[in-house]
Amino acid sequence: MDETLINDKIDAYLDEHWDDIVADIDTLVRIPSVEELDKAAEGAPYGPGPREALTAALKMAERMGLETCDVEGHIGYADLPGGTDGQIGIIGHMDVVPAGPGWTFEPYEVTRKDGYLIGRGVIDDKGPSVVALHAVKFWKDLQDAGVAERFPYTVRFLFGANEETGMADVTYYRERYADPLFLFTPDAEFPVCYGEKGLYDGFVTAPCSPAGRIVELVGGVATNAVPGEAHAIVRADAADLPAAERITVTAEGEGLARIAGAGRNAHASTPEAGVSAIGVVVDYLLANGLCDDAERTFLGFEQRLIAHTDGSGLGIACEDEHFGPLTAVGGTVRTQDGCFVQSIDIRFPTAITADAITEKIRAAAEAAGCTYRTGREEEPFLMDPQSPVIQALLSAYNEATGENAETFTMGGGTYARHFSNAASFGPEKSWEKMPEWVGSMHGPDEGVSEQLLKDAFRIYALTLGKLMKLEF
* Spatial separation of the C-alpha atoms in residues 239 and 220, rounded to whole Å: 26
Average pLDDT of the residues in 346-357: 97
Write the secondary structure of 180-210 as one string of H (helix), E (strand) and C (coil).
CCEEEECCEECCCEEEECEEEEEEEEEECCC
Residue 130 has pLDDT above 90, yes or no: yes
The segment with the largest mean pLDDT, out of 162-171, 218-227, 437-446, is 162-171
* Spatial separation of the C-alpha atoms in residues 11 and 382, rounded to whole Å: 34
Residue 225 has pLDDT above 90, yes or no: no
Average pLDDT of the residues in 349-354: 97
| Best CA proximity match to 29, nearest among 112, 127, 133, 98 | 127
Residue 267 has pLDDT above 90, yes or no: no
pLDDT one-digit tens code per residue, 17-26: 999 999 999 9
Q: What is the mean pLDDT of the chain?
A: 95
Average pLDDT of the residues in 440-469: 95
For residue 416, the SS3 value is helix
For residue 345, the SS3 value is strand
| Best CA proximity match to 164, nearest among 100, 216, 212 | 100
Q: Are 326 and 345 in contact (CB under 8 A)?
A: no
Average pLDDT of the residues in 185-201: 96
pLDDT value of residue 370: 95
* Spatial separation of the C-alpha atoms in residues 404 and 386, rounded to whole Å: 15
* Spatial separation of the C-alpha atoms in residues 34 and 40, rounded to whole Å: 12
Residue 47 has pLDDT above 90, yes or no: yes
* Spatial separation of the C-alpha atoms in residues 426 and 380, rounded to whole Å: 20
> How many CA atoms lie within 13 Å of 443's alpha carbon, on the beta-carbon side?
9
The DSSP code sequence of 89-113 is: EEEEE-------S--SS-TTS-EEE
Burial of 386 (0-12, 13-18, 19+ CB in 10 A): exposed
Average pLDDT of the residues in 65-92: 97
pLDDT value of residue 4: 82
| Confidence band for 266, pLDDT divided at 50, 70 and 90 | confident
